[in-house]
Amino acid sequence: MESLWAFSPVFALFINAASQIVYYRFTDNKSLLKSVFIGFISGAAALLLMEYRYMVGHYSYPSYFIVSVSAYAALGYCYFHFINLGETARRIRLLMELYGYGEGLAEDELLRCYNAGNIIEKRIGRLVKSGQIVHKNGRYYIGNPVMLHISRIITFFKLLIMGKRSEFD
């Protein structure tokens, strides 16, 4: 039984995913981000319930609790990234384009299905809508600098881990 309780972060992750999918599928207001948040909270609530049932009488519990909650948070983060990959990752989009063509696609055919123009249109649209960049008189300017700060943090980690600012360096 103790071994089973140790898997509580995994059970909580299943509840996270199930809640997220059900919420998104069956609500009219299709907000993917909101569904991710609701899924995460549902899983966290389930985890707390499971851990509460276990904690009575276990003296080394505080350490177990922190380990379980941390593991669930990390798994939740992984699940969020899985969803994000499906939404924004170029490799995944390329795979999905190729999936539809069993006989394969030449590079120019592949780029006709999915290209820089598609990517720019989507992302610029998002950045302008959120105010991160401003489009005025045919020129782009930085608006709200949140994304710029995130870019700088990621560039710092690239330098720290990979020793370069860009994959093209």
For the segment 73-92, give every residue that binds another protein (CB under 8 A).
74-75, 77-78, 81-83, 85-92
Q: How far is the CB of 113 from another protein (least distance, A)?
A: 9
Instruction: Look up residue 135 and give its two tokens.
Output: 């489009």
Q: Residue for token digits 């009488």?
A: 57
Give the angle subtended at the CA of 117 by the CAs of 115 and 119, to the nearest 5°: 75
Asked if 130 and 144 count as a contact pair (C-beta separation under 8 A), the reply is yes
53 or 86: whose CB is closer to another protein?
86
Task: Judge whether 69 and 12 are in contact, CB under 8 Å.
Answer: no
Cα 143 off chain centre by: 24
Q: What's the closest the beta carbon of residue 162 comes to another protein, in angstroms?
A: 6
Q: Which is nearer to another protein, 49 or 120 (CB)?
A: 120
**What is the smallest separation between the CB atom of 43 and another protein, expressed in angstroms?**
13
Q: Residues 2, 29, 56, 59: which binds another protein (CB under 8 A)? A: 2
Question: What is the distance of C-alpha 89 from the center of its chain?
Answer: 10
CB 160 → another protein: shortest distance, Å? 8
Written as one letter, the residue type at 125 is G
- Given the DSSP bridges, would you call strands 133-136 and 139-142 parallel, antiparallel or unpaired? antiparallel
Query: 130-150 in b/e burial notation, b at 16+ Cβ within 10 A?
Result: eebbeeeeeeeeebeeebeee
Build a one-symbol-per-residue string for 93-112: x at contacts with another protein by CB under 8 A, - elsewhere.
xxxxxxx--xxxxxx--xx-
Which span sits near another protein by CB under 8 A: 36-44, 45-53, 129-137? 129-137
Residue choice 57, 71, 121, 131 for contact with another protein (CB under 8 A): 71
Instruction: By CB under 8 A, tell whether 129 contacts another protein.
Output: no
Q: Which of 57, 114, 121, 129 binds another protein (CB under 8 A)?
A: 114
Which residues, 19 to 38, sit near another protein by CB under 8 A? 21, 24-25, 32
